Structure 1
Amino acid sequence: MKDERRNRERTDTQHKRERNGYREQSGNMDSHYERGTSSGGRGRKGDAQNFREQREDREYYDDQRRRNRRKAELRNDGENQNSDKSHEKANKGKEGEKEKPNFQLSGALVEDTNTFRGVVIKYNEPPESRIPKKRWRLYPFKNDTPLPVMYIHRQSAYLLGRQRKIADIPIDHPSCSKQHAVLQYRLVEYTRADGAAGRRVKPYIIDLGSANGTFLNNQRVEPQRFYELKEKDVLKFGFSSREYVVLHESSDTSEVDGADEEDDEGIDS
């Protein structure tokens, strides 16, 4: 019993000491917290002031950027309006002028391309293309040796080139291009003997930008331009020795009678 009492007294004493120590510790912590709070209050006030200054600076610069952006937009709008006005004046000036007639052969090709047998053709026929009523012919010669006659009146255009898959008139010499030139019939205006205006279908040759050129009467023609063909004109392509004499059914063929005419069934290659 005595031992139990002693143990209880020791336990109570120990508990009292622990409670007193906790209170002392809590008091020290409260005093430390109060000191920290008083010094921290001053820190938070400084941070708040800095934050306000930074926010004011941001608002100021944002406002400046908005003003600059607005000025740039107004300046661009003014430039666009001036540009539109200048275009309107230019268009009005053009409308007031009458278009002058152009009698030059431009040789301009249609921008669209067409495909034949899987190959893109570099040439499109112009709107004035027509099939001729006059029966034109080509009399080819190789080193003064006559070759079979070519009848070229059943189509409005004939493509000449090394690519036999698409060429109407094949020219096999290696110096010739795959799509070398085109013989084109065109309905054009002319002046009759009495001064009246008339229209007639005439043959023309146009080089399609070949590497080694097309020659009309031994003169190289400019590419992408129509050249009128007349009776007894001579055509050559590239460095080929073959010559093609242009004649028609009413021509005097006494000079080319050595050529054996094939029956009129189509173009002979």
Structure 2
Amino acid sequence: MQKSLGKRSLDVNGDLELPGKRSHSSNYRTFGKFPSKKPVLPIFERSGLLELESHNVKGVQLQHIEPYDRMSPATFYQKHVIPLHKQTHFRAMVCHDEDDSYHKTYDLFDRSSYLIGRRLSSEEENPEDLEEEKEVVLADIPIPEETCSKQHCVIQFRHRNGQLKAFVIDLDSSNGTLLNDNTLPRARYVELKSEDVLRFSTAESDSAYFLVFVAA
């Protein structure tokens, strides 16, 4: 299946002057009192702490913060009043090299970003398992493979120049990401095209699962 896919190459304020020492006696002789203190004004700049706190899920800090031009396909189509028959439908299909029956499809529509990450446990977990033994799964698109990090990469939709475009970004994953057999640069957005193939290790032999991005 992958042989006909993934043929596209990778595109890839001023100094603060400290006052000198001044004796209190000179202030008394001149003014008869200590000089008045300047009022301390509040700082209204964003510290980013609230934003970081909002990216804590299940007690785990998310590594990806969405860009300012993020937009979901649903919001884009609503904003630009695009009828259903003219909408591009985005999907992510997870496949296995040696198991043609393994095929999971995820519709990419309601959200502006989708986290891809590791999930090794089965979908039907034993309810008798202790809570601390359960695997913490953060991914929107889970990959059942050891080489895949829990926060491996993200498919990010962005509204740019009146168009909706999909990008992928590697979240400094342990084993790296391949896009059409090319190593994806870390922490940089690369635009996705239909039928692009993602693998979750730069050593292709270590990765049996792959993801096909489809825009149709």
TM-score by length of 1: 0.46
Q: Does 1:175 align with 2:175?
A: no
The 5-angstrom pairing of residues 1-269 of structure 1 reads 112-113=51-52, 114-132=55-73, 133=77, 134-143=88-97, 145=100, 147-162=103-118, 165-189=137-161, 199-238=162-201, 239-248=206-215, 250=216
Tell whether the 8 Å contact from 2:137 to 2:150 is kept in structure 1 after alignment.
no
Q: Which amino acid in 1 is paired with 2:199? A: K
Aligned partners of 2:95 and 2:140: how far apart in 1? 18
Aligned partners of 2:63 and 2:104: how far apart in 1? 28
Aligned partners of 2:188 and 2:103: how far apart in 1? 28
Q: Which amino acid in 2 is paired with 1:136? A: F
Q: Which amino acid in 1 is paired with 2:210? A: E
Aligned partners of 1:182 and 1:245: how far apart in 2? 14
| Aligned residues with identical type, % of pairs | 33
Quote how far apart the aligned CAs of 1:179 are: 0.8
Indicate the structure whose relative CO is greater, using CA pairs within 8 Å and at least 6 residues apart: 2
Partner of 2:31: none
Aligned partners of 1:127 and 1:169: how far apart in 2? 23
Number of matched pairs: 133
Tell whether the 8 Å contact from 2:152 to 2:171 is kept in structure 1 after alignment.
yes
Give the RMSD, CA atoms, in angstroms. Answer: 2.1
Q: List alignment gaps of at least 5 residues for structure 2.
A: 1-19, 22-47, 78-87, 120-135
Q: Which runs of 4+ in 1 moved over 4 A?
A: none
Q: List alignment gaps of at least 5 residues for structure 1.
A: 1-72, 75-109, 190-198, 251-269
Aligned partners of 1:148 and 1:170: how far apart in 2? 10
Which of the two has greater helix per residue?
Answer: 1
Quote how far apart the aligned CAs of 1:240 are: 2.0
Aligned partners of 1:171 and 1:229: how far apart in 2? 19
Classify the secondary structure of the residue corresponding to 2:61.
strand
Quote how far apart the aligned CAs of 1:241 are: 1.4
Aligned partners of 1:138 and 1:245: how far apart in 2? 6
Aligned partners of 1:135 and 1:158: how far apart in 2? 15
